[in-house]
Structure 1
Amino acid sequence: MTEKEDFLVQKAYEEIEKYKVQVEKDPYRLNYHLMPPVGLLNDPNGLVQYKGTYHVFYQWNPFDTAHGAKFWGHYSTRNMVHWREEPIALAPSEWYERNGCYSGSAVEWEGKLYLFYTGNVKLDDGTRETYQCVAVSRDGVHFEKKGPFLKLPEGYTAHFRDPKVWWKNGCWYMVIGAQTVDGKGAAVLFSSEDMLSWRELGRIAGEGMNGLSEFGYMWECPDLICLDGKDVLLVSPQGLDPSGHFYHNLFQSGYFVGALDYESAHFRHGPFTEIDRGFDFYAPQTFVDDKGRTILYGWMGITDENESYQPTLAHRWVHALTLPRELSLHGDKVYQRPLDELCSLRKDRVDYKNVELTGTGTQFNGVEGSSVELRLDDIKVESGGFRIRFRREAELFYDCDKREMSLIRKNFKTGEPERRTCALSSLSQLTIFMDNSSLEIFVNEGEEVFTARYFPSLRDETITFYGRAFFNLAKWDLDKLKIERNNAQRGVL
C-alpha cells in the first residue's frame, strides 16, 4: 500500500468512527440489507464467489452523502446471512484513479482474485480521462494495484467505464459501457488470452444496431450473462425519455435477450426490457456461484433531484444494496426471486388461510411491522382493484380492469404521491419484503419486481388490505443480518 493510499484509508476509517453513533441511531437504518457504514453507497461491484466465500464490493464515498471520489467498500459472507465488513479494497490514491475508483467486476484466475475497475481522472480544464485498471489479491482481502491495462480506444468519449470480465471458450472477454464521440450509448466487447493485452472486437449493442433507434447518450454497467442457453445483456442506459409506463426514473436498468456470436462479435437481440419497475433500482451486476445460480445485486437508489431529500442524510449515510436475487429466464422474460438463504431470517410466522376481502380496509392481527416478509398465494381479484397499504406511506395497487400494477409512494421532496406502473395480465402471487425504509415487491414469483425506498412515520407499522379478493396470507418478522465489524483491521482503537 502506498503512503497516499494508507492516508486515504485511515481517513475513511476515522470518518466511520466519528459518525458511528449518529449512523447507527437512525431509525431508518435497514435490518437485512447491506449499507455503507457512513457516507454514500452506490453501484455493487466485483460480485464473486472466491474460495467458497461470497464477496460483495460497492462504490462508496465515505466523506459525504453526495457523489465524489469513490472507494470500493467490501463485505464477505459464506451463507448470505452472517457477514464480515472487510478492509477497504480500493482507495483513489494513484494518478490514474485520482477522482475515483469507478465500477467494475471480479474474477478468479489461477488461485488469485482480480478486480477490474475504471480509474476516473478529472483534469483542471474540465476534461476527463478514463483508464481500465486491475488489482490482484491472493487472499480476497488485500489487493495490490497493477495499474491501467487499457486506455481509451478511438471512437469514444472518456465516458467509457465499468468493465465486466468473464471466461468463455478458453478466452477472457470483457464488455464496457461507453459513449460514442457522437454522443450515443453503446456496449463494447474485448477479448484477451492473458488478461493483460486486450483486443477490441467491436460494439455488440447500441443505437442503430438490431433495429434499435435512439436509445440514450451513455450506457453504464453492462453485464453479459447466460440464462437457459440464451445470452442476456444487462445495461443501464442514461437519457431515455418516458414512454407510456416505461422509463420514468431519471436513469433506467434493463436487458436485451439474444445470442452473441463471439467470433464475429455480433449480438442479435430482441427489445429492451426494464428489469425493475420501482423507483430506486440501478446498476445491477450478477455472478454465478458454485451451485450454478446466477445472482443479482442492484443499487437500491438512484442519482436524481430527490436524492438530497432523503432523511438519512441527517444521520450521515444514504442508499443501500438490494436483496440478492436469483435470476431465471421464462421465454425472453427475466424472472427474479429472493435468494433461498433469506428464509433463515424468518421468525414468528402468522398464517391466514382462505382470506376473503369484502372491499373495506382490513388489518389482520399479527400482520404489521417495519421489518417483515409477506407472502400472498392463490390470489383472485373479483373486480375493480386490490390494494395493500404499507404504513400509510406507500401502496401497491392492482387494477384488474386495466390489468395494471402500480406502486405509489410520497415524493421525498414534495410529499405528493408519485407512481410507477406496469402492465400485468393477471395477479396470482406476491412476495413482499418490507425493511425499515425499503420495499421490494416480487409479483407472480418474480415476473415483475418493484423496488423503492420510503420513509413512513416511525410510529406506524400498519399493513392494510382493500378490495374484493381471495388469497392465502403468510407473514414473518425478519431478523437483522449479522455483520462482524473488525475495528482492528481499520487501524482504529
Structure 2
Amino acid sequence: MDFSNHQNRLVRMEDVSDEYINYIHQTTIEDQWYPSFHIAPPHGLLNDPNGLCQIEGTYHIFYQWFPLGPVHGLKHWRHLTTKDFIHFDDYGCAMYPDDSYDLHGCYSGMVFKEGKQCHVYYTGIDQDDKANVCYGLLKQDKIDKQGVIVSLDKKITSDNFRDPCVFKKQDTYWMLVGGESVNGIGILPVYHGDTFHTFTYQGNLNLQNHNFGYMLECPNYFEQDGKGILFFSPQGIKSSNHYDYQNVFSVTYGIGDPIQNDLNFNAQTYYEMDKGFDFYAPQIFKDESGRYILFGWLGNSKCIYPSDKNNWAHMLTIPREIIVDGDRLVQEPLEELKSLRDEERQIDTCMSLKQAAFELELEVNDYFKIEILESKENYISFEMNEKDYILDRSHMTFMYNEKYGTRRYAKRLIKENQKIRIFVDHSSIEIFADEGKTVFTSRFYLNDIKQMKVVNAKGKYWSLKSIEIENC
C-alpha cells in the first residue's frame, strides 16, 4: 500500500483483504530485526503505551496501533494482558475509530481506576480533524466508549491538544492535558471535576518560567512521600551542548511539591528521562503491590527505520520500576524479567554470540567499553570514561536519521565502582547506568550480531528467552 498518498493512511482494516493482512503479518514476524522479549505489533505501527493498569492481579497494556503499515495512520488501541510480564494474552483491537468524535483516530490516553470501575480517557480526533478528550469504561477485553467530555477550546490552545492524565486529590478529580498555547508555547491545561466525567478548565500549570518549546505531550503525574512527580514530552527544545535534547523530541521530568489549587509546580531542576536515540511518550501506573511501573515507546516519530520495509514499526520498552531518589528518578528493569534468563556465561574480552537477545550485568570502575559487532567495520559501542557515557552507532551496517547525530552523551554521576545492565533484543538496546539514574534506549541495525568485545569490565551474560504471546 502506498502511504506517500496520505489518503491511504485513513483506510480502514475492514476495507483491505485478508490476503493483505496475512502478507504484512508474515513479513513482520519473519524480519530478522523483530524483537523476542519486547511487545511489538503483529504488523503495522505501534507507538504510545496507553491505559496501563492492574485489575485483580492481571496487568492490562494497551498501545496505539495503525494496523496497515509502518506509518502514522488511523489509530486504534490494541490490548494485551499478563500476570507475569513473560506470558501475554493478545486480545487484538480494543478500541476502533468508529464514532463521529474519534473517526480520524483513537489517540493517547490512560485508565484511572476507582473501586471496581476503570475509567478510560483518551484523545479522539473527529471527522473534522478536531481533537477532544473522550471517555469510556474498560469492560473485560473491550472499551465501552461514552463520548466527548472536554472539547478543544481555541481560546486556550491551538489544535495541538491531547493526551489526558487523570488523578484524584481528596474529593476532586484532576486532569492534565498536553497542549500548545494560542501563542505557540508548550502548556499543560488543568481541569477539575466533581465527578469522573465532568471537568472544568482551571488554568495552565505554572512550571516556574522553564522553557519547554512549543508543545507539551503525554503528561504523567503522581505523588509519593510528600512529593509531586511530573514528566512530559516537550517539542521544540533546543540545546547548545551535546548532552541534552539531541533528539527530534525528548522526555523530561521534575520533582517538586505536590500540585495544589494555585496550579504551581515548583521543581527546581528538570532532567531528561532517557539519553538514547529512541524513547518517547512513556506512561506510568501503580500496581496492586505499590510499585510504579513504566513503559515507553521505543521509537521516534520523525524517522524511517530500515525495518519499515517489512511492514512494521516500533515496540514498547521493557517494563521498568520507577523509584524516587531525591530529585532524580531511578529506572530499574522489572524484577520479573529475570525469568527470561537462560544460558549464563562469564563476561570475557571477546565473546561469540549465538543469538541476538541477551542481558549483560557489567561491573565497571574507571574506563570501560563494549562493542557489539557484525564485523570489525560494522558495530555499535557504549563506553564510559572519567566524566561521560557515550553510545555510538556511527558504524552500523544500516545508517539512518543521521541528521540528528550518531552519538549520544550523558554525564557520569557515579564516579566509583558500579554495575551497568544492558538488554539487547535484535535491533534495540537499553542501558541502565548510575544505578538507574542514567538510561539510554535506542534502536540499531546490524545485519547479523556475531560477537561482543568488552574492555575493562567483568560480569555476567545471559541469553534471554522470548516472551510468549497467545492470541485470544
TM (normalized to structure 1)? Answer: 0.86
Q: 1:421 aligns with which of 375, 390, 409?
A: 409
Aligned equivalent of 1:327: 322
Aligned equivalent of 2:338: 343
Aligned equivalent of 1:380: 365
Stretches of structure 1 lacking an aligned partner (at least 5 in a row): 1-6, 356-361, 487-493
Q: 1:452 aligns with which of 438, 442, 447?
A: 442
Residue 50 (structure 2) pairs with residue 65 (structure 1) = no
Aligned equivalent of 2:5: none
Give me the whole-angstrom Cα distance separating, in 2, the residues matched to 1:415 and 1:277: 17
RMSD after superposition: 2.1
Give me the whole-angstrom Cα distance separating, in 2, the residues matched to 1:12 and 1:300: 28
Give me the whole-angstrom Cα distance separating, in 1, the residues matched to 2:454 and 2:162: 45
- Deviation of 1:74 after TM superposition, in Å, equals 1.1
Deviates more, 1:10-19 or 1:269-278: 10-19
Give me the whole-angstrom Cα distance separating, in 1, the residues matched to 2:435 and 2:127: 44
Counterpart contact for 2:388–2:410, Cα < 8 Å: yes
Would the alpha carbon gap of residues 342 and 430 (structure 1) be closer, same or farther in structure 2, given more than 3 Å must change? same
Would the alpha carbon gap of residues 413 and 220 (structure 1) be closer, same or farther in structure 2, given more than 3 Å must change? closer
Aligned equivalent of 1:463: 452
Aligned equivalent of 2:8: none
Aligned equivalent of 1:359: none
- Deviation of 1:211 after TM superposition, in Å, equals 3.2
Give me the whole-angstrom Cα distance separating, in 2, the residues matched to 1:324 and 1:416: 27
C-alpha deviations, 1:226-256, integer Å up to 9, x for none?
2443111110000011231111000010111
Would the alpha carbon gap of residues 13 and 194 (structure 1) be closer, same or farther in structure 2, given more than 3 Å must change? farther
- Deviation of 1:8 after TM superposition, in Å, equals 4.6
Counterpart contact for 2:361–2:459, Cα < 8 Å: yes
Give me the whole-angstrom Cα distance separating, in 2, the residues matched to 1:224 and 1:188: 13
Aligned equivalent of 1:404: 388
Counterpart contact for 1:47–1:56, Cα < 8 Å: yes
Residue 137 (structure 2) pairs with residue 136 (structure 1) = yes
Counterpart contact for 1:350–1:367, Cα < 8 Å: no
Counterpart contact for 2:321–2:331, Cα < 8 Å: yes
Give me the whole-angstrom Cα distance separating, in 1, the residues matched to 2:467 and 2:421: 19
- Deviation of 1:86 after TM superposition, in Å, equals 1.0
Aligned equivalent of 2:188: 187
DSSP-derived class of the 1:266 partner: coil
Aligned equivalent of 2:254: 256
Q: Which residue identity is paired with 1:339?
A: L
Would the alpha carbon gap of residues 286 and 396 (structure 1) be closer, same or farther in structure 2, given more than 3 Å must change? same
C-alpha deviations, 1:268-323, integer Å up to 9, x for none?
2222210000000000110000111111110000112xx22x22112110100000
Q: What percent identity do the matched residue pairs reach? A: 32
DSSP-derived class of the 1:27 partner: coil
- Deviation of 1:263 after TM superposition, in Å, equals 2.7
Give me the whole-angstrom Cα distance separating, in 1, the residues matched to 2:403 and 2:178: 35
Residue 85 (structure 2) pairs with residue 96 (structure 1) = no
Q: How many residues align?
A: 449
Give me the whole-angstrom Cα distance separating, in 2, the residues matched to 1:435 and 1:283: 20
Aligned equivalent of 1:290: 288
Stretches of structure 2 lacking an aligned partner (at least 5 in a row): 1-10
Give me the whole-angstrom Cα distance separating, in 2, the residues matched to 1:191 and 1:351: 55
Would the alpha carbon gap of residues 413 and 274 (structure 1) be closer, same or farther in structure 2, given more than 3 Å must change? closer
Deviates more, 1:170-179 or 1:318-327: 170-179
Give me the whole-angstrom Cα distance separating, in 2, the residues matched to 1:158 and 1:351: 54
Give me the whole-angstrom Cα distance separating, in 1, the residues matched to 2:226 and 2:288: 18
Aligned equivalent of 1:474: 460
Would the alpha carbon gap of residues 415 and 174 (structure 1) be closer, same or farther in structure 2, given more than 3 Å must change? closer
Aligned equivalent of 1:490: none
Give me the whole-angstrom Cα distance separating, in 1, the residues matched to 2:176 and 2:203: 10
Q: 1:274 aligns with which of 267, 272, 281?
A: 272
Counterpart contact for 1:369–1:462, Cα < 8 Å: no
Counterpart contact for 1:8–1:91, Cα < 8 Å: no
Give me the whole-angstrom Cα distance separating, in 1, the residues matched to 2:163 and 2:16: 23
Q: 1:389 aligns with which of 361, 366, 371?
A: 371
Aligned equivalent of 2:6: none
Give me the whole-angstrom Cα distance separating, in 2, the residues matched to 1:55 and 1:11: 29
Give me the whole-angstrom Cα distance separating, in 2, the residues matched to 1:25 and 1:98: 32
C-alpha deviations, 1:379-423, integer Å up to 9, x for none?
222xxx4211112421102121xx010101134256997101011
TM (normalized to structure 2)? Answer: 0.90
Give me the whole-angstrom Cα distance separating, in 2, the residues matched to 1:40 and 1:423: 33
DSSP-derived class of the 2:113 partner: strand
Counterpart contact for 2:13–2:67, Cα < 8 Å: no
DSSP-derived class of the 1:348 partner: strand
C-alpha deviations, 1:426-481, integer Å up to 9, x for none?
262200001111000000321200000011122x3211123xx3x43111010000
Aligned equivalent of 1:146: 146
DSSP-derived class of the 2:78 partner: strand
Give me the whole-angstrom Cα distance separating, in 2, the residues matched to 1:12 and 1:103: 25
Give me the whole-angstrom Cα distance separating, in 2, the residues matched to 1:416 and 1:57: 30
Residue 427 (structure 2) pairs with residue 430 (structure 1) = no
Counterpart contact for 1:8–1:93, Cα < 8 Å: no
Counterpart contact for 1:325–1:339, Cα < 8 Å: yes
